[in-house]
Structure 1
Amino acid sequence: MVRQGAPSVPSLIICDQSGTELFDPGAAGRLEHRMALLAKAGDTVVVRERVPEFEQYLGDYLGIRDVSFVEAEPRDADSVARQLRVNPKLASLLGEALPDGTALTVQSYLTNGYTWHLAKALADCRQTPVSVAGPTSRASKHANDKLWFWSVVRTLTGKDSTPPTLYAFGPAAAAAKVARFARDFSSVVVKAPSSAGGRGNLRFQSAQLEKMRLTEIRDVIEQRLRAVGWRGTYPILIGVWESGITASPSAQMWLPKKDEGLPQILGLFEQRVEGSRGRFSGAQPAILPDDIAQEFLAEAAIIGALLQRIGYFGACSLDAVIRETPNRRSELHWVECNGRWSGVSIPLAAARRFRGDDTQNGLLIVQDIFPELKPIGTRALLDLLDELAFRSRASEEGIVIVSPPNRAADVSLNVMALAKTQPRAAEMVEELRRRLGLGAA
């Protein structure tokens, strides 16, 4: 029997990010390993490529022990959940890793149809109950679709509660709508509706479009979208890249099943985004004016309740921007829903595990790429951290390695500083940057 929920039984944690649109296994690096921070004794974690140094770190420093790791096919772009179901070798490895005769929970980075099919196959094979700690396939698809989110939010909270946005159902319509926005706004954005992390965001300066014919705009849009892996599917989103942004808050939420409680807002975080695509590079607890914070939290609860009604269960986050108008009034505009675990919700869950509910102060997440760094492994990073490294049950503060750094040309750094105060968390991150030979942030 397969059901939705998260009972206290051993979990199969699938770290795969392939359900997001424009996913590229080669460019994903080692961020998938973040999900291992959710593991507990008796759980099984599936990654595309094992990193033994990081697995050792989890046990030695964070107390995450007695966890089994299974390696999927690293070069196969197919969903890992599907691989586990149809690949006999992987299915055998998984069967050996999972505990015998017990109920099981399947928890994926992004829950989709492949997750539910795997849960059904496991239930049939093991003859034990299997739960899925995530939304229904339909709810997951809707929640991660920026166009669906835009339409729903306007209905729930008013037509002015999002940036100006339009659908485009083909290349000619996309060009015409980009040109239309370019006449009235300084920047226009084109988005693949279900992409993540800014990968499918294309920003156009309106001044560059002024002298272009519609056919030229059409060609540029398609060329740039295809360059990031887009496969020609419509509709796409055409919107305004707003100016006057003063904050980029995100509501980190846990949504119980609709008959088990109201939406829970676990934290309000300010996201750091960089570059023309708005790439996520970190977060910290947000500080907003009281009136905006109240509006933000109230509307987040309304949106969360709708997601519950359509079958959403589990972690999700709602992203917005705060814009200052020419008359100095602050406007809240909703941008998207991340209907999955994320670069904020996973570290936040780990922080709550280590510190309880005290996570709205003294927490700083870094997720960035540093081409100037030489390749470095988990062990070498720990040597650099030295006394700064957080140790579960032994430290009041310190830096947690959220995912192993890439040992490649562009070194990724994904860490979380935990401290009693926000300035102290920032101070620890700056000290790590100094030890790595990086300049001030």
Structure 2
Amino acid sequence: MNIAPDLAGKTGQQFRLPIVVHHRVKLPPEERIRIAHLARQIQTESPRLCHAPNFSENLSSGLIDAPALLVEDHSGIQLAHERGADAHHSYRALLLAGEGDLLAVYGKRYPAFEAYCRDWLGLGRVEVIAPPLADPVQSLADACLNDRHLIARAVKRAQHAGGLNVIPYMATGAIWRLAGEIAQQAGVPVRLAGPAPALMRAVNDKLWFARWAAKLLGEEAVPHSRAVYGMAALIGYLRRFMREHRRVAIKLSHSAASLGNLVLNNPEFSGMPAAEMSGRLVDMIDRAGWKNPFPLQVTAWEAPIKATLSAQLWIPYPEDGSPIVEGVFDQITANSNARFTGAVPSDLPKDVRDIVVEGAARLGLLFQRLGYFGRCSFDAVLLDNGAMAPCLHWVECNGRWGGVSIPMCLMNRLLGDWNSRSMLVTEQQIVGRPGLTMGQFLTVCEPELFTAAGEGAGAVLLSPGKLADGAFDLLILGHDRNEVLKRGRACASRLAKRGL
């Protein structure tokens, strides 16, 4: 494993998640003092924000040199669980697993994908368990907690190794209960790679993030937005925002962006009577499937945008160093709601990327001061101001793993450093063609696929969950951008032409 010096710590423990430092930021002492003061202000206002649940004396946040139980549970994100994110993505966590680890997956197993990760990618033998689901709305974490077989396997693995890591997609309360049960029964140290549940929920809250990002970075560093707690306030703020901005959006506070965005057409709503506007909004919210949506965020939907950026961080314990900014990526989005469809390493000029890196480092240090540990990313938009200086607005925090960080970490595992190759994360939908099995996918795309024994280039399937629907989440590696794009087109062509 490649361990960043910042993460080695005094114990010299070997982390199972390789971190490669690409951006080092030295904040001046006065800025660090200001950030510490702001953290104390947040803690005074919310004193229980950073308190981890006391499920077992053997459980705490962190990572140790021990096997892991990995659980990608999306139930902490509004709409994601009910839209099938668990079934589609729970296998992505296998890309973070290694020899001797345990993986819990939602619904059913895909042995062919397990063999692909083991034999084609060389990630090691992982024991995969699909816990029984009590009903379609049960979260993966709760299903794990109720599965005596899974608990017994995790306890045995922990006792044999002298400890266990629980590596979640996001550190929900249910994940902490699961880790606590394992720690209580095993009687050995169990570490959870994530923050306390209350802090996790806070940082993923767009309203909370907008407030404290503005306090830290300045009001000009975030889009114009307001929190609203009812329909009357929503109508009032929408009218005000529509007079000030060309387009306006309303957002769910805890949703992944595209699922929780409604972008409004200003001319259509401007001047509309309050009763009619209320009826239209209620109808739009119902059609979007937003149940009990308040509080909501009203925000300017900014344009034109030069880039939609994602800064990827690892936040260690303070004694192990400062937050690490591993990379800055351009997100590829589609449709009016900015649905995420992929990402590439940012090719913005260095001076602009430095602004992104410094802002992300300051946000990461604030979170670290609050007790945050683990994977985190910050999304921002770079406005196209023509010849004027670049204007960067921080939009939200993703206090969890995601569609960029998992492939990035996988590349570190496969190649030692994600930055040693050009890369593209892409979602492809082959319209008008039937879905296919894992075996069919491998047969069709074999000439374009990455293998551990190969030349360090090719396509990697990130999850098997959408194959039956004719959709493919891919990581494409190449020696340069042209090779990556060529391989991406070749995969799409092979998938579209199969059987013709």
Question: Retained in 2: the 8 A contact 1:285–1:361?
Answer: no
Paired residue type of 1:140: M
Structure 2: 5+ residue runs without aligned partners?
1-57
Give SS of 2:363's match: helix
Match of 1:71 in 2: 130
Cα offset for 1:323? 0.3
**Structure 1: how far apart are the matches of 2:496 and 2:157?**
45
Residue by residue over 1:49-84, the C-alpha shift from the partner in whole angstroms, topping out at 9 and shown as x without a partner, is 211221111112011232111113455323322222
Correspondences of 1:382-393 after superposition (within 5 Å)? 382-393=442-453
**Structure 1: how far apart are the matches of 2:275 and 2:352?**
42
**Structure 2: how far apart are the matches of 1:91 and 1:336?**
38
Residue by residue over 1:148-181, the C-alpha shift from the partner in whole angstroms, topping out at 9 and shown as x without a partner, is 1111111111101111111111111111111211
Paired residue type of 2:136: D
Paired residue type of 1:4: S
Correspondences of 1:19-418 after superposition (within 5 Å)? 19-28=76-85, 29-48=87-106, 49-73=108-132, 75-85=135-145, 87=146, 90-96=147-153, 99=157, 101=159, 102=161, 103-325=163-385, 328-359=388-419, 361-408=421-468, 410-418=469-477
Match of 2:480 in 1: 421
Paired residue type of 1:234: F
Question: Retained in 2: the 8 A contact 1:267–1:360?
Answer: no
Paired residue type of 1:423: N
Cα offset for 1:422? 1.6
Classify 1:67/1:230 alpha carbon distance in 2 versus 1 (closer, same or farther; 3 Å): same
Structure 1: 5+ residue runs without aligned partners?
none
Cα offset for 1:387? 1.9
Question: Retained in 1: the 8 A contact 2:103–2:128?
Answer: yes
Match of 2:69 in 1: 12
Classify 1:42/1:206 alpha carbon distance in 2 versus 1 (closer, same or farther; 3 Å): same
Residue by residue over 1:251-296, the C-alpha shift from the partner in whole angstroms, topping out at 9 and shown as x without a partner, is 0111101232101111110000111221100000001123321111
Cα offset for 1:407? 4.3
**Structure 1: how far apart are the matches of 2:196 and 2:479?**
38
Cα offset for 1:361? 4.5
Cα offset for 1:197? 4.4
Cα offset for 1:250? 0.7
What's the TM-score once normalised by structure 1's chain length?
Answer: 0.94
Residue by residue over 1:163-210, the C-alpha shift from the partner in whole angstroms, topping out at 9 and shown as x without a partner, is 111111111111111121112222111100110141011111111112
**Structure 2: how far apart are the matches of 1:187 and 1:70?**
46
What's the TM-score once normalised by structure 2's chain length?
Answer: 0.83
Cα offset for 1:416? 0.5
Classify 1:369/1:338 alpha carbon distance in 2 versus 1 (closer, same or farther; 3 Å): farther
- Which protein has the bigger helix share? 2
Give SS of 2:302's match: coil
Classify 1:197/1:180 alpha carbon distance in 2 versus 1 (closer, same or farther; 3 Å): closer
Residue by residue over 1:79-126, the C-alpha shift from the partner in whole angstroms, topping out at 9 and shown as x without a partner, is 3222222x2xx1224413652513111111111111111111111111
Q: What is the RMSD computed on CA atoms of the aligned residues?
A: 1.8
